Amino acid sequence: MLERLIATPMPLVLKNAFNLAHGSSDSRTNLLVRIGEGRGEVPIVPYYGIPSARLLEELDRASALLEEDPFRIDAVMARIDAPSAGFSAPARCGVDLALHDRVGKLLGIPLYRLFGLSPENIPPTSFTIAIDQPEVMATRARDSKLPILKIKLGKPEDLEIVRAVRLATSAKLRLDANGGWSREQALDLIPRLMDFDIELIEQPLAKEDVEGYAWLRSRLKAPIFADESLQSERDVLALRPGIDGIVVKLMKSGGLRGALRMMTLARALDLKVMLSCMIESSLGVTAAAHLGPLADYIDLDGPLLIANDPFRGLQYEGAQIHLPSGPGIGAEPVH
C-alpha cells in the first residue's frame, strides 16, 4: 500500500533569544514529516526566506512521488532532488529523513548501522554562545564548563568579545561571523583574533562573496570554513581555492544522502568537514549525528538550545554525543 506523506507544524521555544548577525528570535516553527512509521524534520530558518506555506505545498507535492517499495529511496529522491522538480533543500531534507527513518525501522537497525559507521568515532560537539555583550558571553562561556565553544560574532565589539571569552575559559574556541564582515574587516580582524588561540573561523565573509575567500587566503593564514556560502555540493568547487573546510547541514544538503555526497566531495578535495545543524529538535539533530563518525568537527547542539524539545534522541555527556540505539533515527516523541 502506498503511504502518504503527512506534514504538521512543530513549534519550538528557544531557551534564550537567539541573536545572530542576521537578527534575533525566541521561537521557531519547523515541520514534522511522517511517512508511515518514518519521521523527518524540515527546519524553517527565517533568514532563508522560504515560507512555511511553500514548504507545505512542496511536501504535499512530494507525497505523490513516493514509491510503494519503502527501500527505493534512490528512486524517490531522484525525482525530488532533480533541479527541474523545484523542491527546496529543507523540504528534500524532511522527505529524505522520513524515508531513512522508515527503512531503519523496517530493518530494526539504527541509521549508523545502515551506513556502516562506528558511533564511538563521533568527535565531541561544540556548544554555541550567542551574540551578546562581551561580559555576558564570557560568563556563559565560563558557566558552560564545556571544552569546545562556538562564539558567534559579527558586531563592532568582536575583538572585545573574543578577548573576554578567552580570559574566562580555556576551552577550544571556534568563531562564527555568520557573514558579518567585509573583506577589509576580515583582513584586519582575523590575525588579531587568531592571537587568542582560535581553532577555526566560520563564514567570515558575506554569503555571496564566493571569490572573497581566495582574496583573503592570499593575504592571511587562518583556518577558514564556509557555511552560508555553501548551499549545495555544487558550491564546494567554487569555494575550494579559499577555504580549509565546509560546514554541512542536512537542511542545506537536502538530507542524509545529500550530506554524504557533500562530505565525499570535500574529502576528495582535501577539505575538512564540520557537521552542524540549524535550530532543530532532537529528531533532525539525531539524524545528523548518525553521520557524525564521518566528520572532523561536530557542531550539533541544537536540542540544547530548545526549551520544549518534542523528541528524545541523542544524549550529551559533556561534549560527547551518544546516539540512541533504537531503529532508524532513534528519536521518539516525548508525548
- Closer by beta carbon to Mg ion, 17 or else 64: 17
Query: With CB under 5 A as the contact rule, which of the stretches 99-107, 173-181, 284-292, 314-322 interacts with Mg ion?
Result: 173-181
Q: For residues 201-260, which are near Mg ion according to CB under 5 A? A: 202, 227
Burial annotation 116-132 (CB, 10 A radius, 16+ → b, else e): ebebeebbbbbbbbbbb
Burial annotation 4-28 (CB, 10 A radius, 16+ → b, else e): ebebeebebebeeebbbbbeeeeeb
- Under the criterion CB under 5 A, does residue 176 sit at the interface with Mg ion? yes
111 with 256: CB under 8 angstroms? Answer: yes
Catalytic residue among 41, 96, 105, 152: 152
- Rounded to the nearest whole angstrom, what is the least distance from the CB of residue 227 to Mg ion in the complex? 4
323 with 112: CB under 8 angstroms? Answer: yes
- Closer by beta carbon to Mg ion, 21 or else 256: 21
- Name the grid cell of 201: 573561523
How far apart are the C-alpha atoms of 298 and 39, rounded to whole Å? 23
Pairing of strands 315-317, 198-202: unpaired
Query: With CB under 5 A as the contact rule, which of the stretches 7-15, 105-113, 198-206, 217-225 interacts with Mg ion?
Result: 198-206
- Rounded to the nearest whole angstrom, what is the least distance from the CB of residue 178 to Mg ion in the complex? 6
272 is catalytic: no
Site map 259..298 versus Mg ion, x via CB under 5 A: ----------------------------------------
Query: With CB under 5 A as the contact rule, which of the stretches 159-167, 175-183, 302-310, 314-322 interacts with Mg ion?
Result: 175-183
- Rounded to the nearest whole angstrom, what is the least distance from the CB of residue 276 to Mg ion in the complex? 6
176 is catalytic: yes
**What is the DSSP secondary-structure string of 110-169?**
BHHHHTT--GGGPPPBPEEE-S--HHHHHHHHHHH--SEEEEE--STTHHHHHHHHHHH-
Catalytic residue among 233, 249, 299, 301: 249
How far apart are the C-alpha atoms of 76 and 65, rounded to whole Å? 6
- Which residue is closest to Mg ion by CB? 227
Site map 128..167 versus Mg ion, x via CB under 5 A: ----------------------------------------
150 is catalytic: no
- Name, in order, each residue with C-beta under 8 angstroms of 124's C-beta and a sequence gap of 6 or more: 147, 148, 298, 318, 319, 320, 321
249 is catalytic: yes
Q: Which of the residues are catalytic?
A: 152, 176, 202, 227, 249
**Contact positions toward Mg ion, by CB under 5 A?**
176, 202, 227
